[in-house]
Structure 1
């Protein structure tokens, strides 16, 4: 079979063949893996997406050797993953210096926000000092690990794409796209100090303990972010959350 026949065969499978779509039980905290879905199956989930992103990774790669850069990437991604999983989030994607966590079930917004604030605290208080001790080249060039997180909530269609052995799960909906965009806001000045940004839907569903700290609202907003020809309201915070 030639390439043209191969491509047409795949189009027949992906376009002409209708998808079988089911809805995930809302109370469950589980998230399917790609292998749990058939190639013509999809699952609708109500989920909160967290993207956490290492800032200025291109500057890191240019400033130090590849081993030092790899140690820094691994430290950030491994610690972020550990925190997300500890709070019953599911890792379904890595994209270079960014990790995506999916939270479902009860209090999914609280757990996603707490994860982001835990990551901010861990990066500032644990990971960065450890890196400066073990990878002195970072201090020598004046590079400091920083991160930003974006969070959004909404109904999302999960589907499987690719071929056996070369496939992945894709998330289709506004929530994952908005979370990714919020993690990627890179304004100078005042905006630069806010490391956690959440969509209005996430903010609305937060418990008081995740909105307030000692009676003070941890969140500022609303602000507006353009995406796909629409404006999405969001809130921002520079608070962290310690482990104890």
Structure 2
């Protein structure tokens, strides 16, 4: 069969076939879903941790130095996500995606974001400066967090496929991770309104500043410079 005919057949099948969907009790893995129209629904909080200004990093520094910064950031972010009960389901260059479920998913995800901020400033930066005393590079990052119902589906072709996460939380968390790195943690109102006080206040002071997200119909979002010590 010619490639054109094959693509026309497969695309028509995707649009024609009915979806098989079920509620998930755990974050699914690739093997839990078929390549057809098969979906798992989750109430989840999604976190994206993104290394800021990575283009400037690769433009102005040696590739091995850039790689070391990618590695240290993703190492710390990934271990903190797991320590907070999150599940890592995607890496994309200089960022990692974590998924949190359960009754305390919002508080756990936000605590994770604040701990990543602490690790960048108190573990990665001191280690880098000790090794490279004269470097001018200062690591900055952004964590974006949102909560909603999401659907997991398996995309790609046989032998080369991955899970895709469809829903507000996945998209909005990714967009928030591209916000100003002057505020390392950004969350939506869906997360903020369901936070435990431990992740909302520090010694009685609200750690979060409310903003209106002009690009998203004035959605209420929150940003913070606070951290949570490990």
Asked if structure 2 preserves the Cα contact closer than 8 Å seen for 1:225 and 1:234, the reply is no
Matched, 1:216 2:205: yes
Partner of 1:189: none
1:96-120 deviation line (CA, Å, top 9, x unaligned): 1111111111200011001100000
Partner of 2:29: 33
1:9 and 1:122 map into 2 onto residues whose CA distance is 50
What are structure 1's unaligned runs of at least 5 residues?
Answer: 187-191
Tell me which stretches of 4 or more aligned residues in structure 1 moved more than 3 Å: none
1:178 and 1:232 map into 2 onto residues whose CA distance is 11
What is the SS of the residue equivalent to 1:6?
Answer: helix
Alignment RMSD: 1.4
2:73 and 2:192 map into 1 onto residues whose CA distance is 26
2:97 and 2:214 map into 1 onto residues whose CA distance is 20
Normalised to the residue count of structure 1, the TM-score between the two structures is 0.89
Partner of 1:181: 175
What is the SS of the residue equivalent to 2:96?
Answer: strand
Matched, 1:148 2:142: yes
Bigger CA drift: 34-43 or 114-123?
34-43
CA gap of 1:61–1:242, structure 2 versus 1, over 3 A, is: same
2:214 and 2:109 map into 1 onto residues whose CA distance is 20
Asked if structure 2 preserves the Cα contact closer than 8 Å seen for 1:51 and 1:151, the reply is yes
